Amino acid sequence: MNPNTTPTNTTGARPTPAFDATVGQHVLDDFSKWREFLQVQVRRAQNVGMSDTQIDDAAFKLGSYLADKIDPENAQERLLKQMWETSSKDDQRVLARIIVNLVSQPDAGTTH
């Protein structure tokens, strides 16, 4: 299987890109763009019927990937990375859930 695609669904639809690193890097340049990107991804996951547990698991995996592979681009990302790296796996899962909650709020695209 190509690592840049997700498995074909049961309807036989073509695989779609799982995460385009070039789009991802652009999104990571600005914290509000990152929040908007995550908000869209959470809505998509909900619309295709993913459970909260599945969304939380995906958020945990994404958080682990970002903390391990991506250098923070701004103060918010540096703080999140520090929080992630100093947390136990259980606390990382809680942090991932909090971030999902944050971007699931109606005003998630705005900054205060």
Q: What are phi and psi of 99, to 5 degrees?
A: -65, -40
CA 29 to chain centre: 15
Rounded to an integer, what is the distance from CA 14 to the centroid of its chain?
Answer: 22
Q: Which residue has the higher pLDDT, 44 or 15?
A: 44
Is the model's pLDDT at 16 over the cut of 80?
no
Query: Which of 34, 41, 17 is closest to 78 using CA atoms?
Result: 34
For each of the domains in the chain, give its residue range(s) and CATH number, in order of start. 21-104 (1.10.760.20)
pLDDT band at 112 (very low <50, low <70, confident <90, very high): very low
Full-model pTM? 0.68
Quick one: tokens of 55?
């969304």
Alpha-carbon distance of 55 to 62, in angstroms, equals 10
